[in-house]
Chain A
Amino acid sequence: MAAIDLAKQLKDKFGDLISDPAEFRDEVTLKVADAERIAEVCDFAKKSLGFNMLVDLSSIDNYGEDPRWTLVYELYHMEQKAHLRLKTDVSEEKSELPTIVNVWRTANWHEREIYDMMGIRFRGHPDLRRILMWDGYPYFPLRKDFPLAGKPTELPEVAFTKPAPLEGGPFVTVPGGKDSLAREPRVRVPLTESVETVSRLERRLDVKPAHEPDQPQPNAAMPKS
């Protein structure tokens, strides 16, 4: 198969830097041992072997393992119709590797998206800034330690992410209630303890308020006017 031959040529050129080709479901994957040399490998793949298209560039968060980041480069050779996958690892302390934007210009936006979602920096990128989230967004959402429900952030004068006014009652599960997280992992737990959320939580029948209420609450679910 053309992809195996090209993979072997790549391995012959770089020796121990490239692992033996692994095959799974008719696809060839090569592991690049040192992420710092990825630009060199990609340059050779494009200029000498003829992989003219970078189809996709993804990142994986191996949360709990070291190295934490894995980058996956999908290359395609148009004339020989060969698909090759290159993988390389980056440790969390470093979180940085050279850019391949000088090899394929499509990497520009792909690397910006990886920086936006995972926080991996690309050295030499002409314009490394967020692409999907807004500039100044404080988190990296695709990391495994970022919760699915999201974290509240502020976009001053444009949007807010406080819980909605009626979120929590009268006919809806109280956010942050004791069983809501188990039932629905996507429920939003307000991190900031505003007055409204605390008093709404206190009004639930099984949560005793810290102090005795000065007047009886006729209907625990009705919000205070």
Chain B
Amino acid sequence: MAAEDAKLHAVGPGVAQQQSELEGEQMVLNMGPSHPATHGVLRLVLELDGEIITKAIPDVGYLHRGDEKIAENMTYTQFIPYTDRLDYLSPLANNVAYALAVEKLMGIDKALPPRCQYIRVICCELARISSHLLGVGCFGMDLGALTVFMHTFTEREKIYNLAESLTGARFTTSYTRIGGVSRDTPNGWIAAVGKFCDEVVTNFDESETLLTRNRIFVDRTRDVGIISKEDAIDYGLTGPNLRGSGVDYDVRKAKPYLIYDQLEFDVALGSVGDCYDRYLVRMEEMRQSVRIIRQCLKNIPGGANNEGNEPVRVNDGKVTLPAKDKVMSSMEELIHHFINVTQGVNAPVGEVYFGAENPKGELGFYINSRGGGTPYRMKIRGPSFCNLSILPHLVPGNMLSDVVSILGSLDFVMGECDR
């Protein structure tokens, strides 16, 4: 027993002192935090019996930055850049989810101007396409299909350009504010998104040609990592992982927020719950996102370049910053600006939980407020944290190369797992 314990210890601190009956010659393999196939800094300690895995212990926390502790010391608006860095592959979606949670606490989530809601939906769906493109691309790359990666990242580059013209930053957008969005869409942006939608659908078709009926891909993903419906719900899986197992739960349909109840779209469901199903669900979700974006572009209030002069922020000086020319000339707006920037919005005493359908799953914010501009406690429910908790149950019994398939199909990101 001492020799086997020493072997477990040799892998490094943090491995549980498990009283494992190691029979024969079981090897402990460390799929360390720096590894091309673990997306981000995930450490997997695998016990192998030859090629078959008998135990898988994930070790998370390498990207823990203390976001929840920081949130207790920041005003609600100051925390928005931190939300960019949660699921850093779809920052616009995180911004929207956080802003909606704070607006729910303030009670103004039903009073958002319609143009702002349409812009937010377009941002969420663009983020979904961006994240799934990366998920599918990296999944293919991990399994050896490098061309898919190149294809999908060409389209992601276009999304980054759109985000840059809209928000000023390609990546860490910090676009939404409490009560609206930071600025209106620039002239021509809506037309550019429409053009992007047409181009990206051809790209979906190309990626599907490369993967969906590819013999090697199907062999490596079909019937690998099957998650049953009961397991998926019990382990708190959400997003494409849950829907790949056939559970019809999409927050946009179950608890609609923004204008999702007015939009027509379908929810993709898998049947078997294997890696192949999860890949197909993601491909179909991207097509549905394009469908949603096209409806929004057609119906956006105010017209494409906001000829109708629709507001994009709630018109309440206590919540959003007033227009700068008023701030410089009028006393009341100056006071609102000052209070808003130094003390933050005055949230009521109470607590809310709001979950949004992020590309990786349900990103939830539990905000407990005791009044004032900073939350007393903010818990971020990261979907990848719950998605990864199924690994010790799912991986044993599979071969080592299946681990790569499973990790790629779960499509997690450590930013929101570790926060």
Q: Is the CB of B60 within 8 A of A141?
A: no
Q: Which of A106, A136, A146 contacts B236 (CB 8 A)?
A: A106
Which residues of chain B come closer than 8 Å to A61, judged between CB atoms?
377
A74 contacts chain B at the CB level, 8 A cutoff: yes
Q: Is the CB of A109 within 8 A of B105?
A: no
B415 contacts chain A at the CB level, 8 A cutoff: no
> Which B1-36 residues sit within 8 Å CB-CB of chain A?
13-14, 16
Min distance, Cβ B145 to any Cβ of chain A, angstroms: 32
Q: Which of B61, B70, B353, B368 contacts A60 (CB 8 A)?
A: B368
Q: Is the CB of A132 within 8 A of B70?
A: no
Q: Is the CB of B377 within 8 A of A60?
A: yes
Residue of A nearest to B353 (CB): A74
Q: In the complex, what distance in Å separates the CA atom of A130 from the CA atom of B364?
A: 22
Which residues of chain A come closer than 8 Å to B233, judged between CB atoms?
52-53, 78
Q: In the complex, what distance in Å separates the CA atom of A146 from the CA atom of B73?
A: 13
**Majority DSSP secondary structure for residues of A touching B:** loop
Q: Which of B14, B235, B255, B377 contacts A106 (CB 8 A)?
A: B235
B299 contacts chain A at the CB level, 8 A cutoff: no
Contact A56-B235, Cβ < 8 Å, known A74-B366, A109-B385, A142-B68: no
What bracket does the count of chain B residues touching chain A fall in?
A: 35 or more
Which residues of chain B come closer than 8 Å to A29, judged between CB atoms?
351
Q: Is the CB of B70 within 8 A of A148?
A: yes
Across chains A and B, the number of contacting residue pairs, with CB separation under 8 Å, is: 101
Which residues of chain A come closer than 8 Å to B249, judged between CB atoms?
78
Residue of A nearest to B12 (CB): A158
> Which B301-339 residues sit within 8 Å CB-CB of chain A?
none
Which residues of chain B come closer than 8 Å to A134, judged between CB atoms?
13-14, 61
Min distance, Cβ A86 to any Cβ of chain B, angstroms: 12
Q: Is the CB of A25 within 8 A of B60?
A: no
Q: Is the CB of B366 within 8 A of A58?
A: yes
> Which B28-48 residues sit within 8 Å CB-CB of chain A?
none
Q: In the complex, what distance in Å separates the CA atom of A178 from the CA atom of B414?
A: 38
Which residues of chain A come closer than 8 Å to B189, judged between CB atoms?
none
Residue of B nearest to A78 (CB): B249
B271 contacts chain A at the CB level, 8 A cutoff: no
Which residues of chain A come closer than 8 Å to B61, judged between CB atoms?
130-134
Question: Chain A, 121-137, contact with B by CB distance < 8 Å: what is the 0/1 string?
Answer: 00000010111111110
Q: In the complex, what distance in Å separates the CA atom of A146 from the CA atom of B11?
A: 31
Q: In the complex, what distance in Å separates the CA atom of A27 from the CA atom of B16?
A: 39
Tally of chain A residues near chain B (CB < 8 A): 43
> Which A92-114 residues sit within 8 Å CB-CB of chain B?
104-106, 108-109, 113
B379 contacts chain A at the CB level, 8 A cutoff: yes
Q: Is the CB of B70 within 8 A of A109?
A: no
Q: In the complex, what distance in Å separates the CA atom of A106 from the CA atom of B386?
A: 7
Q: Is the CB of B386 within 8 A of A129?
A: no
Which residues of chain A come closer than 8 Å to B50, judged between CB atoms?
none
Which residues of chain B come closer than 8 Å to A188, judged between CB atoms?
none
A187 contacts chain B at the CB level, 8 A cutoff: no
Min distance, Cβ A151 to any Cβ of chain B, angstroms: 12
Contact A104-B16, Cβ < 8 Å, known A25-B104, A185-B73: no
Q: Is the CB of A132 within 8 A of B107?
A: no
B64 contacts chain A at the CB level, 8 A cutoff: yes
B381 contacts chain A at the CB level, 8 A cutoff: yes
Q: Which of B353, B393, B418 contacts A56 (CB 8 A)?
A: B353
Which residues of chain A come closer than 8 Å to B68, judged between CB atoms?
117, 142
Interface centre among A56, A72, A78 (most CB of B within 10 A): A56
Which residues of chain B come closer than 8 Å to A150, judged between CB atoms?
66
Residue of A nearest to B350 (CB): A24
Q: In the complex, what distance in Å separates the CA atom of A201 from the CA atom of B261?
A: 62
- 7 pairs, CB–CB < 8 Å, chain A vs chain B: A24-B352, A25-B352, A53-B236, A55-B236, A56-B366, A74-B364, A109-B385
**A-to-B contact residues, CB < 8 Å:** 24-25, 27, 29, 52-56, 58, 60-61, 72, 74, 78, 81, 83, 85, 104-106, 108-109, 113, 117, 127, 129-136, 141-142, 146, 148, 150, 155, 158, 185-186
8 nearest CB pairs, A to B:
A106-B236, A132-B61, A58-B379, A109-B389, A56-B381, A132-B64, A60-B377, A24-B350
For the complex with contacts A61-B377, A134-B14, A155-B13, 10 further pairs of A-B residues with Cβ separation under 8 Å are A25-B107, A29-B351, A55-B364, A72-B366, A78-B254, A81-B255, A83-B255, A109-B388, A148-B73, A185-B73
